[in-house]
Amino acid sequence: MAYDYLMLYYVYEKPQLFDYPIQSVRKHILNVFAMGFLFFLWIVAYTIYKTTTQIKNNKMDRMEIENTLKDSQLNALKGQINPHFMFNCLNNIRGLILENPEKSREMITRLSEMLRYSLAKNEITTIVLEEEIEMVENFIEISKIQMEERLNFTSQIDKNTLKLQIPPMIIQMLIENAVKHGIAKLKGGGQISLQTTLKHNNLTILVVNTGILTIDKDSTQLGIKNIEKRLHLIYGEKASFKLEEIKNTVIAKIIIPIL
């Protein structure tokens, strides 16, 4: 009986003696849950970090592969230019050797200057437009040696465009195409005009020549395809190339974004 009164006394009068062990257990349990929750958060954070890092690395690897492939494709396309241009010029020189040796020598000199230029720029994706214009002028002089008065060339070059970057030989190929498929087929010859303008952060290159838009049966259209592929590889959908005929005049128009 005395024991019962003693227990009642401790329960009601000294409850802290019984609460202490319970609070200690609760505290330990809460600590275990807290540690577990923190460990769970660490696992989640680590998983997110590793996943993000892996995605980033995969993206960088994919971009590196794409850039390497793009460079390889561009180099292959640039490799098509020299043989194509050489073939046309050597044919012209062959026709002049017996007829006019002096002009043929001048033609060879200008051709060597152009080849030196193209070799120097072979590993470059873009050049300043001013350098390309010099290339075009050499090509025009070579063509005039053969066609004489049948070829009339004019240009309107916006001074603000001279230092802008463009793919090498892209204008020269347009001019070459105009001479070969336009002026050369006209008995009385014709005119080629080159114009560059800068508007709304876009460079517009316009080549207009007398003639009609025809595609020879045996033509590979190498120059046109080359231009289209290089523009797409460098600028994607931001650049455009259009070739059309309006009233016996062929118009080639290239629009390039200023990067």
Question: Does residue 115 form part of some domain?
Answer: yes
pLDDT in tens, 20-57: 455 565 666 676 677 777 777 788 787 887 777 777 76
CATH code of the domain in which 86 resides = 3.30.565.10
Question: Could you tell me what percent of the chain has a pLDDT over 70?
Answer: 69
Q: What is the pLDDT of residue 199?
A: 92
pLDDT in tens, 125-182: 788 999 889 888 888 888 887 777 889 999 999 999 999 999 888 898 899 888 888 8
DSSP conformational letter for 211:
S
Q: What is the pLDDT of residue 78?
A: 56
d(CA 80, CA 71): 14
Give SS3 for 164.
coil
Determine contact, residues 167/231, Cβ cutoff 8 Å: yes
Q: Which two tokens stand for residue 183?
A: 């002026």
How much is the pTM?
0.64
Question: Does residue 143 form part of some domain?
Answer: yes
Q: Which domain does 189 fall in, by range?
A: 79-257
Task: Give the helix/strand (H/E) hosting 156.
Answer: strand 151-157
d(CA 69, CA 72): 5
Question: Does residue 69 form part of some domain?
Answer: no
Question: Does residue 17 form part of some domain?
Answer: no
Looking at the DSSP assignment, which residues form a beta bridge with residue 127?
A: 166
Question: Does residue 172 form part of some domain?
Answer: yes
> How many domains does the structure of the chain reveal?
1
Question: Does residue 84 form part of some domain?
Answer: yes
Length of the chain: 259
Report the amino acid identity of residue 224: I
In whole angstroms, how far apart are CA 184 and each of 112, 120, 156, 177, 248?
23, 30, 23, 10, 14
